[in-house]
Amino acid sequence: MLAACAGAGGGGGRFGGEPGPGQVPPASPSAIGSGQIRVGLILPLSAPGNAGVAAQSMKNAAELALTEFKEPNIQLLVKDDGGTPQGAQTAAQQAIDEGAEIIIGPLFAQSVSAVGRLARSRNIPVIAFSTDASVAARGVYLLSFLPESDVKRIVEFAVSRGKRSFAALLPDNAYGTVVQAAFQQAVARRGGRIVAMEKYPLDPSQMGEAVRRVAQAASRADSIFIPDGADAVPQVVAALAADNVNLKRVQLLGTGLWDEQRIFDAPSLVGGWYAAPDNTGFRSFANRYRAHYSQEPVRTATLAYDAVALVAALVKTQGPQRFSEPVLTGSSGFAGIDGVFRFRSDGTNERGLAVLKVAPGGGQVISPAPKSFASGT
């Protein structure tokens, strides 16, 4: 099962057990593909701003996956949820009425909850894209980049390199709350200790007190964890330096939010470690996407590609059990554009991530992403 998504474009025979189209209503005009197995694809295509842009890019990526998969026996029923839970529920009902056996999407947490309630009542699995693990559930699987995976990977790597005493500065927002819980759990599991942990407000001018408290404890820490993006991390690090923290002595740690050029351009962050997907697969995908659509894909477009490639592969190889829980939650997982991943029975996922070091030219891999999951883990 590990190579399911990676099988896009490859050969391989078709196994038995696939039913015919059955007595279902005709698909809507917005369907992509002409296969027998119908799959709902719910995205906020008409939502304003970045949400709509991301949705269109993800729709393109889904279409690209069908183009590149050899003889996909699926048809995507594309539905626009408008970026609202009500729209998502209506879209899911339409897809189910048209014969969808599985639903891909939606993007936002509240929409995932709305779709999940309806789909689970009909025993139809969902592969969604929210980064909020609280909306995952049995039968509602998240394919997104979950911050918990970043935290687990970077803490485990830091401990493997001899780091034992951690300080942390966290953004005072929903992401910071999720990361805080994951960080405390990961450090405890690895036998480390947290000597200081503070949350700073979103207003940079108000973060001084939180930084000061961590700076006072920094002499007892061998690493400082700052899980935020480029709008805040360089300022936090500058404030630590201003409070006399020796940044050459402590190891700076981050999450996948560090994987952007403004972080690489900050001299104070050079040498920092962070966990993220290996970008090799994304670069190859982006080249193919540009060739098809003459524009850049959003970073999350790979999620839609992998979801469609996975569904197509399961249809080709798993017969009538294709979307069953044992198949979707197999321990060996699947290989996608962003590396290996697997769904847990609670709907969350685990990803094989790399650890990278901040350098002026971009992230440098210092611990490669695993190519497979260890047996039994």
Are β-strands 223-225 and 251-254 bridged in parallel, bridged antiparallel, or unpaired?
parallel
Q: What is the pLDDT of residue 375?
A: 53
Segments in the chain below pLDDT 50: 1-2, 6-23, 376-377
Q: What is the pLDDT of residue 28?
A: 59
- What is the C-alpha separation between 328 and 331, in angstroms, rounded? 9
- What is the C-alpha separation between 160 and 21, in angstroms, rounded? 53
- What is the C-alpha separation between 304 and 219, in angstroms, rounded? 45
Closest CA to 72 of 24, 113, 28, 38: 38
Fold classification of 5-144+279-346 (topology level): Rossmann fold (3.40.50)
- Domains 5-144+279-346 and 148-276+356-367 agree in fold: yes
Count, residues in the chain:
377
- What is the C-alpha separation between 289 and 291, in angstroms, rounded? 5
Task: For domain 148-276+356-367, give its CATH number from 3.20.20.140, 3.30.70.141, 3.40.50.2300, 3.40.50.300.
Answer: 3.40.50.2300
The strand ranges marked E within the chain are: 31-32, 37-43, 74-80, 102-104, 126-128, 140-142, 165-171, 193-200, 223-225, 251-254, 273-276, 334-336, 339-343, 349-351, 354-357, 364-367
Q: What is the pLDDT of residue 374?
A: 73
Domain boundaries, given as residue ranges, for the chain:
5-144+279-346, 148-276+356-367
Q: What is the pLDDT of residue 5?
A: 59
